[in-house]
Amino acid sequence: MQIRNWDDYQNNYQKSVEDPEKFWGEIADQFIWKKPYKKVLDWDFETPSIKWFEGGSLNITENCLDRHVKTHPNKKAIIWEPNDPNDDGLTWTYQELYNEVCSFANVLKKHGVVKGDRVCLYMPMVPQLAVAVLACARIGAVHSVVFAGFSAQSLADRIDDAKCKLIVTTDGAFRGQKEIPIKGIVDEAVSKCDCVEKIIVFKRTEQYVSMTAQRDVWWHEEMENASTDCPAEEMESEDMLFILYTSGSTGKPKGVVHTCGGYMVYSHYSFTNVFQYEADDIYWCTADIGWITGHSYIVYGPLLAGATTLMFEGIPTWPDAGRFWAICDKYKVNQFYTAPTAIRSLMSKGLEPVARYSLNSLKVIGSVGEPINEEAWRWYNTYIGKNKCPIVDTWWQTETGGIMISPIPNVTDIRPTYATYPLPGIQPILLDKDGNEIKENNVEGLLCIKFPWPSIVRTLYGDHERLKQTYFSTFKGYYFTGDGAKRDTQGRYRIIGRVDDVINVSGHRMGTAEVENAINEHPWVVESAVVGYPHDIKGQGIYAYIIPDRHIESEQAFIDEVNETVRKEIGPIAKPDIIQVVSGLPKTRSGKIMRRILRKIASGDISTLGDTSTLLNPDIVEEIIEKSPMIKK
């Protein structure tokens, strides 16, 4: 059900609000169901309990693979561009991808994986990661992909929380000029977990790795004699498809659970409409499959649509800052989807790396992960889109499963920095802090959703109460996104950013508590407070205020040690951009840290700190301001 014009959009939106069950039922009927569903939707935001397409059974991989193998087996499914442009890439047709997936599904079964088991995937952006994801889904195992930049401790936490039985990984990874010891990180993580029975290792870098007898096996050896015949497991619509961990405002990562039927319907629907995908297009999302963007818009969404999806192993600035544009020209990419962080980083390299390439094949360019600032939006529009490609500035979350608010190319109008309008089926609402609906336009408020959509988070793995408290308790009867938003006179939405203790770093959410917990692991740290601050490239940077338990002779050496501690506990992505050593933190008389004040100082704005005389220790504010690198002296 692809939307083609403004009237089409309005009609579809109206239908989706007036009779959501009929609207989504008609879309769901386009897929292969092993058993038809009996009820489209059953929901209650109080409990919360949301069920889509109850009574129906399916296997998502039959819709990603089998049906396309019947109609166009030789169409390119995955194109893989390796880290080094001089290395050979790889292309799999739908038939070839089907064979790889079925073979690896049989390997998983051989090693004791059955329906409902959790499997952890800790791999770089090699096409075998997509195979492993689909192979799990084929046999009804629940995949938990962990971004291969997380530390051994973060990996161990996620393996242990999901009680993963098996891990799929690689010997190592190439990232720009770096070679990363992936298997070594896995070994360290597994030493802290007692649930892992097997590790399957794909050979990517050929670096030496330790292989534990009886536990570790090589991917290529296991695949040699694996059959390409693997019937798809019958899954109930509400059976778990995957767990994906995301940072929250407490230190413990949240295992977001998505289920088979609803996620399938929405990831396909949002992909085809937001990108206006046509049959022979080449589509490229630059994200990593370790994040939700990679799940929904590298693997599931495109393959459900029978698309050709491009996977890239490398980084945008190696071997030079023209790498993205070289790939666009090389494969004649039609839809290009990346993050504002990457755009800002490439902007800073000047126009010469862009000018070498034509980019004539591009039809739609997209932005994901955080609100895009106007300067980056205009650069992207002018130099990449050549003022002819609509920019889809998409807003969504790990918990939403798919794009919620976005322009639809050549259908809805576009305004720089605005995500604009909700997709049909999505009912956003702005509330004030007391939970009252703000109905007029040209306003600002807290962004909530008042009606479920098929790919909404169902639970947090092993902690349903936390789901309720985080998303459904702040405002009764609504899903609270945690974001603030503006709505203009035309009803278009602009996302302002997080209103809780979560920082959006390069489009990836980091809970301040999680970073603080890591910092506090350093033996000299008494207490820390972490806040976000405006960052030219990342959108938000991490600013840490740290109280040590002794006099520090060399602040730089101490800061380096703290950064190394964070790297080991979480990974390089969580390292603070700025660390300020302080003797105390501003606190209320009840002992609560006044983060609002720390955010103001970190952003260089001390004009609106308010009355600090009521603090437990008002003098500390002046001391922090005096030593802050952000305040012009």
Q: Give residue 99's pLDDT.
A: 98
Q: Is residue 361 part of a domain?
A: yes
Last residue of a domain, one of 369, 393, 417: 393
Last residue of a domain, one of 374, 393, 412: 393
- Predicted TM-score (pTM) of the model is 0.88
Q: Is residue 363 part of a domain?
A: yes
Say how many domains are in the chain. Answer: 2
Structure tokens of 533? 């601050």
Q: State how far Cα 34 lies from the chain centre.
A: 30
Q: Is residue 411 part of a domain?
A: no
Q: Which CATH number fits the domain that encloses residue 518? A: 3.30.300.30
Does residue 615 have a pLDDT over 80? no
**pLDDT > 70: what percent of the chain?**
98
Q: Is residue 537 part of a domain?
A: yes
How far is 208 from 422, CA to CA, in rounded Å?
50
Does residue 251 have a pLDDT over 70? no
How far is 33 from 52, CA to CA, in rounded Å?
14
Domain range for 566: 502-627
> Using an 8 Å Cβ cutoff, are 314 and 307 in contact?
no
Q: Is residue 206 part of a domain?
A: no
Does residue 250 have a pLDDT over 60? no
Closest CA to 551 of 528, 585, 576, 526: 526
Which sign, positive or negative, has the C-alpha torsion 460, 567, 347, 485? positive
Question: If pLDDT is split at 50, 70 and 90, which confidence band does 614 have?
Answer: low
How far is 598 from 544, CA to CA, in rounded Å?
9
Q: Give residue 607's pLDDT.
A: 83
Torsion of CA 211, 214, 220, 224, to 10 degrees: 160
How far is 162 from 143, CA to CA, in rounded Å?
10
Q: Which CATH number fits the domain that encloses residue 334? A: 3.40.50.980
- Residue 81 is inside which H or E element, if any? strand 76-81
Q: Is residue 325 part of a domain?
A: yes
pLDDT digits (tens, 9 = 90+) for 96-145: 999 999 999 999 999 999 999 999 999 999 999 999 999 999 999 999 99
Q: State how far Cα 559 lies from the chain centre.
A: 29
How far is 363 from 337, CA to CA, in rounded Å?
11
Q: Is residue 165 part of a domain?
A: no
Please tell me the total number of residues recorded for the chain in this structure: 633
> Using an 8 Å Cβ cutoff, are 459 and 256 in contact?
no
What is the crossing angle of helices 555-569 and 152-162, to 10°?
A: 30
Average pLDDT over the chain, rounded to whole?
94
Structure tokens of 277? 């995908």
Query: Could you give phi then psi for residue 307, rounded to 5 degrees?
Result: -85, 170
Closest CA to 429 of 359, 477, 470: 477
- The residue whose two tokens read 């130099």 is 383
Say which range, 160-164, 375-379, 383-387, 498-502, has the weakest mean pLDDT. 498-502
DSSP per-residue codes, 165-228? SEEEEES-EEETTEEE-HHHHHHHHHTT-S---EEEEE-SS-------TTTEEEHHHHHTT--S
Which sign, positive or negative, has the C-alpha torsion 473, 475, 477, 480? negative
**pLDDT > 90: what percent of the chain?**
82
Q: Is residue 573 part of a domain?
A: yes
Does residue 346 have a pLDDT over 80? yes
| Residue of higher predicted confidence among 395 and 614 | 395
| Residue of higher predicted confidence among 619 and 93 | 93
Last residue of a domain, one of 393, 428, 453: 393
b/e burial code for range 304-341 (CB count within 10 A of at least 16 → b): bbbbbbbbbbbbbbbeebbbbbbbbbebebbbbbbbbb
Q: Give residue 605's pLDDT.
A: 87
Residues 178-203, mean pLDDT to the nearest whole number: 97
Q: Give residue 554's pLDDT.
A: 92
Say which range, 148-157, 282-291, 476-485, 500-509, has the weakest mean pLDDT. 500-509
